[in-house]
Homo-oligomer: A and B are copies of this chain.
Amino acid sequence: MKKTLKYWGWGYDSDGLNAGETQELLGTFANGYGIRPTDNGVFPPLEEVVLTAPRLTPPTSLAKICSFEKYERVLHAFGQSQPDSIRIYMRDFAHAPDVVAYPESAKDIVALFDWCVDVGAALIPYGAGSSVVGGVTSDVGSDYNGTVSADMSRMGRVLEIDEVSRAALIQGGARGPALEAQLKPSGLTLRHFPQSFEHSTFGGWVATRSGGHFATLYTHIDDLVENVTMVTPAGEMVSRRLPGSGAGPSPDRLMIGSEGALGIITEGWVRLQGRPTFKATAGFRFVNFLDAARAVRAVAQAGLYPANVRIVDDVELNVNGAGDGSFTLMVVSFESSDHPVDAWMARAEQCCLDHGATIDVGWHDNPQANLQGAVGAWREAFIRMPYNREQLTPRGIISDTFETAITWDRFEGFYQAIREATADAIRDVTGQTGAVSCRFSHAYPDGPAPYFAFHAQGRKGSLLEQWQAIKDAASYAVIREGGTITHHHAVGRDHQKWYEQQRPVLFGDILGAAKQRLDPKGILNPGVVVR
């Protein structure tokens, strides 16, 4: 039996926290942070969702790839952000797309564009809907005569594998697991594992500059792209497939990060790797988060390029049941399809010990290290994390994450400032202390990508405004203190106003000119990246 995707949260409706896990999560917030359920609400069942009648009728040629099904329209109305979750809970579906289209080819996409231009409709490119920043939320205002959500799931094939160069040509709609399954017989892997891996697509990764498995070196999908094919209302843009080039500004780098505002990424060649056969993982504990950060810096500047070099602070460990609040955890791992990684790991371990680490899980002769100690507990929690929110929103608990990057020289002050700004906002908005935590998702020689999470006691009926006030305070602080508004979650609708402050004004003008050339009628993903 085919599993059904939730329209109110992460994954399939058969998946989620069980009663025990839910109680444990709520217990942690209640006992540790005084954040308690304020409501026994539930997300609305489908029959209680009210949609307006579709305002659009596709031409006959497109009818076979278009759906007006209520479930499909509801599923495509939102992504996976905190405000999305709150609005679903509030039954706020007035903006649901009129039509959900499932293009099967570039030709279908062109026809959809032509139709939307003709009728004055907006078109939202939709990968698998994992945006946590409103990137696929089909709320485009009143300037359009309708909204089409263009779901890329029927363009999900790996078209070609080049085992010599270790590369593959992949369609935009390929989801993580299906993509890796198609690569598997070749012995190669893309090894791009964002937390959203199961329910996100290759095209979505490229469109949003997704951040993957590797904490160093190849952090963003950007680094793996050989070429991009993007279909735009003005025609197709295909860059040349190359391992490297110095010919003018990179056309790939304009398409990468364009978030559906300039076109739909239909396919691209990407670099693959051999499946790792040599692996080593170790866990280290630090009393102090900033000591751990200095150890990350040492490893990142040593030129070792670990697959993983993450630190998770005391609060985040505690919230996720992986620590008692007395230590920061650091996970270091190396992997290779070619050679043993002992020399690499030994040096990284020394960097950690030099900065006051004690060993949580040792790596010598320990192939199961990633499943042991706090390392294993946090890993398990990390995998389950996307299921938490559907338990929290209906109970009036605000939960969100945001991520950024900053150079090392500014990091310590930045870290304090962002934590304070977020905690202060939570106190101002909710009248009580929340939980603010930090981990590093990625580390560069010149700075980390800090990833913050916050939880706060919400008030029934005001969750959206409360979330917005906290989010604004945190975002304001990130921009004021010199960070980026997003390291890998993307811009979407939620970050647009901050992104406009971050990017050079003239560059914004040039993006506007690009939009004008590629999408002159402004049908594509209105409100995102280019307004």
CB pair A240 B484 closer than 8 Å = yes
Stretch from A98-106, A142-150, A158-166, A457-465 at the B interface: A158-166
- Shortest CB-to-CB span from A313 to chain B, Å, is 20
CB pair B244 A447 closer than 8 Å = yes
Interface residues of A in 313-369 (CB under 8 A from B): 336-339, 342-344, 347
CB pair B504 A336 closer than 8 Å = no
Does A245 interact with chain B (Cβ within 8 Å)?
yes
Interface residues of A in 483-514 (CB under 8 A from B): 483-491, 495, 499, 502-507, 509-511, 513-514
CB pair A303 B242 closer than 8 Å = no
Does A448 interact with chain B (Cβ within 8 Å)?
yes
Does A455 interact with chain B (Cβ within 8 Å)?
no
CB pair A517 B509 closer than 8 Å = yes
**Could you pull out 27 A-B pairs where Cβ atoms are within 8 angstroms?**
A167-B407, A208-B246, A222-B250, A226-B446, A234-B506, A236-B506, A237-B507, A238-B504, A239-B504, A240-B502, A242-B406, A242-B407, A243-B446, A246-B484, A247-B490, A247-B491, A247-B499, A248-B258, A249-B253, A249-B256, A254-B507, A271-B446, A274-B301, A301-B338, A302-B339, A339-B343, A513-B517
Query: Which B residue sits closest to A504, measured CB to CB?
Result: B237
Interface residues of A in 4-51 (CB under 8 A from B): none
Chain B residues with Cβ below 8 Å from A244 are: 219-220, 405, 442, 444, 447, 449, 484, 487
Q: When chains A and B are docked, how far (Å) is the Cα of A344 from the Cα of B305?
A: 13
Does A210 interact with chain B (Cβ within 8 Å)?
yes
Chain B residues with Cβ below 8 Å from A507 are: 237, 239, 251, 254
Contact flags A255-296 to B (C-beta < 8 A → 1, else 0): 111110000000000010110000000000000000000000
Chain B residues with Cβ below 8 Å from A510 are: 254, 510, 513-514, 517-518
Name the one of B165, B236, B446 contacting A166, with C-beta atoms under 8 angstroms. Answer: B446
Does A409 interact with chain B (Cβ within 8 Å)?
yes
- Shortest CB-to-CB span from A35 to chain B, Å, is 30
Q: When chains A and B are docked, how far (Å) is the Cα of A529 from the Cα of B343?
A: 46
CB pair B338 A482 closer than 8 Å = no
Q: When chains A and B are docked, how far (Å) is the Cα of A199 from the Cα of B487?
A: 37
Q: What's the number of copies of this chain in the assembled complex?
A: 2
CB pair A254 B243 closer than 8 Å = no
Q: When chains A and B are docked, how far (Å) is the Cα of A245 from the Cα of B503?
A: 11
Q: When chains A and B are docked, how far (Å) is the Cα of A96 from the Cα of B400?
A: 61
Does A209 interact with chain B (Cβ within 8 Å)?
yes
Does A445 interact with chain B (Cβ within 8 Å)?
yes
Chain B residues with Cβ below 8 Å from A344 are: 343
| Known contacts A407-B165, A409-B162, A506-B234: A257-B251 contact under CB 8 Å | no
Chain B residues with Cβ below 8 Å from A220 are: 244, 246
Query: Which B residue sits closest to A518, measured CB to CB?
Result: B506
Contact flags A184-214 to B (C-beta < 8 A → 1, else 0): 0000000000000000000000001111000
Q: When chains A and B are docked, how far (Å) is the Cα of A511 from the Cα of B343?
A: 47
Query: Which B residue sits closest to A509, measured CB to CB?
Result: B517
Chain A residues within CB distance 8 Å of chain B:
162, 164-167, 208-211, 217, 219-220, 222, 226, 232, 234-251, 253-259, 271, 273-274, 297, 301-305, 336-339, 342-344, 347, 405-409, 442, 444-449, 482-491, 495, 499, 502-507, 509-511, 513-514, 516-518, 529
Chain B residues with Cβ below 8 Å from A343 are: 339, 342-344
Q: When chains A and B are docked, how far (Å) is the Cα of A305 from the Cα of B238?
A: 30
CB pair A408 B247 closer than 8 Å = no
CB pair A487 B445 closer than 8 Å = no
**4 nearest A-B residue pairs (beta carbon):** A243-B447, A253-B253, A513-B513, A343-B343
CB pair B242 A249 closer than 8 Å = no
Chain B residues with Cβ below 8 Å from A511 are: 248-249
Chain B residues with Cβ below 8 Å from A249 are: 253-258, 511, 529
* Given A165-B407, A242-B407; 9 other pairs, CB 8 A cutoff: A167-B409, A237-B504, A246-B488, A248-B259, A254-B507, A273-B303, A301-B338, A303-B305, A303-B339
CB pair B247 A506 closer than 8 Å = no
Q: When chains A and B are docked, how far (Å) is the Cα of A100 from the Cα of B67?
A: 65
CB pair B240 A482 closer than 8 Å = yes
Chain B residues with Cβ below 8 Å from A209 are: 245-247
Query: Which B residue sits closest to A257, measured CB to CB?
Result: B249
Q: When chains A and B are docked, how far (Å) is the Cα of A495 from the Cα of B511?
A: 26
- Shortest CB-to-CB span from A530 to chain B, Å, is 9
Q: When chains A and B are docked, how far (Å) is the Cα of A37 from the Cα of B303?
A: 49
Q: When chains A and B are docked, how far (Å) is the Cα of A237 from the Cα of B301?
A: 29
CB pair A409 B486 closer than 8 Å = no
Name the one of B246, B338, B482 contacting A487, with C-beta atoms under 8 angstroms. Answer: B246
Query: Most chain-B CB neighbours within 10 Å: which of A240, A259, A442, A510?
Result: A510
CB pair A241 B442 closer than 8 Å = no
Query: Which B residue sits closest to A274, measured CB to CB?
Result: B301
